[in-house]
Amino acid sequence: MRLLRRILVCTILKQDDIEYAIENTQVILAPERQIATFGNTSFEFHLISELMDRVDQVRIRTGRIEAERPKILSPEYFCRMMLEGFGEKAQEYVERLREQARQIAVLRYGFQFRKSGVTEKTVSASLQSVIDRTRRAVERAGDLNGAIIQGVDEAWEVCLLKFTIEMIERSAGENIGDFKRRGLI
């Protein structure tokens, strides 16, 4: 979560708004599938939030998040990427690190968030009734990649980023295992 906080500090939201959104994001229904190791994965999300200035007014944002397949970054690639513009001494030091770190590999996850795919509507109902209704609809549709997230209206994108980072954390162990079983790391 530290990474998420650092990324978001650069936005127009205040630090308190970001902290509040992170602390008040709750995944009500997580996708059954994790991020696929050898292909792209798409998640449909329903982000539900109460409007702060109106009683029993709830906004539902629906859209898709696409996760590209994880890529392996080898120590050589990572070191080359880090050394752009550095001199000979730095090259020597990284070469020593490279020798020590032959077993290290980093997974890079790529997400594409397309706001054009997001729809939103505001309904007059209690937060819990909207959550329950949305859950029944997702379960009835049988969408294994559906997610329901309860979040904060003003900082809803922070809530969505928190969800994507949690998906990465949940998927990383299985993805690494898949790469190891295929001898790729």
Distance CA 98, CA 76 (A): 7
**pLDDT of the residue at 9:** 45
Half-sphere exposure of 101 (CA within 13 A, CB side): 16
**Segment 60-105, tens digit of pLDDT:** 999 988 887 787 766 666 555 555 556 666 666 666 666 655 555 5
**Segment 130-180, tens digit of pLDDT:** 999 999 999 999 888 899 999 999 888 888 888 888 888 888 878 878 888
Q: Which amino acid is residue 175, in one-letter code? A: N
Cα-Cα-Cα-Cα torsion 118, 122, 127, 132, nearest 10 degrees, comes to -60
pTM over the 0.75 mark: no
**Segment 3-56, tens digit of pLDDT:** 454 444 444 567 777 888 888 999 999 998 888 878 788 889 999 999 988 888
Token pair belonging to 128 = 């819990």
Comparing CA positions, the residue from 161, 152, 167 lying closest to residue 34 is 167
| Cα 103 from chain centre | 26
Those residues whose C-beta lies under 8 Å from the C-beta of residue 123, and which sit 6 or more positions away, are: 57, 58, 60, 130
Q: Is 63 helix (H, G, I), strand (E, B) or coil?
A: strand
